[in-house]
């Protein structure tokens, strides 16, 4: 495995710029939907739970939980999935930004391979 930067294959800066633009666009599109959901989803989960508990106490029936429980689970799962997608997009955007900086000569190249054990 080559460890010197000069031994690495050259990276096309146009492709990196296109990747960076694509990831940034996807991230903005996701955040346009995610930020309001992140703000209101916990309130919706709590409201659904409180409505379910009150309905259970008043009606002595548990049929409404067939709707409330899946709705709560869907909201929680949706939050988890969107958070993971957002983190992945942020990491890919930062990686493309870093590689573009290396291709332009802004950052110094790494002299050893990444992912190896750290020696003291």
For 111-115, the CB contacts below 8 A with 24+ separation are 111/3, 111/4, 111/5, 112/3, 113/1, 113/2, 113/3
Domain assignment of residue 114, yes or no: no
pLDDT at 1 (0 to 100): 43
| 54-70 CB burial, b ≥16 within 10 A, e <16 | ebeeeeeeeeeeeebee
The whole-number pLDDT of residue 51 equals 92
Does residue 43 form part of some domain? Answer: yes
**Enclosing domain of residue 88:** 11-102
The answer on pLDDT for 101 being more than 50 is yes
Q: What pLDDT shows up at residue 113?
A: 58
* Residue found under tokens 């346009």: 32
The model's confidence at residue 111, banded by pLDDT at 50, 70 and 90, is low
Please tell me the distance from the alpha carbon of residue 104 to that of residue 36, in angstroms, as a whole number: 37
What's the pLDDT band for 7 if we cut at 50, 70, 90?
very low
Please, what is the end-to-end C-alpha distance for the chain in angstroms?
22
> Considering its fold, how many domains does the chain have in total?
1
Please give the residue that has the higher pLDDT: either 4 or 77. Answer: 77
Answer whether residue 120 is part of any domain: no
Residues 42-96: tens digit of each pLDDT: 899 999 999 999 999 999 888 888 888 999 999 999 999 989 999 999 998 888 8
Is residue 112 one of the residues assigned to a domain? no
pLDDT one-digit tens code per residue, 17-30: 888 888 889 889 98
Specify the pLDDT at position 116: 59
pTM attached to this predicted model: 0.66
């Amino acid at each position: 495995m080559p460890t010197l930067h000069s031994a690495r294959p050259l990276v096309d800066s146009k492709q990196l710029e296109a990747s960076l633009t694509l990831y940034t666009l996807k991230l903005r599109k996701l955040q346009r939907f995610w930020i309001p959901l992140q703000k209101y989803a916990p309130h919706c989960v709590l409201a659904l739970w409180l409505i379910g508990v009150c309905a259970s106490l008043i009606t002595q029936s548990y049929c409404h939980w067939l709707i409330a429980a899946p709705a709560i689970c869907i909201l929680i799962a949706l939050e988890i999935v969107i958070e993971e997608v957002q983190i992945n997009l942020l990491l890919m955007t930062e990686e493309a930004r870093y590689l573009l900086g290396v291709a332009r000569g802004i950052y110094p190249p790494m002299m050893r391979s990444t992912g190896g054990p750290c020696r003291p």
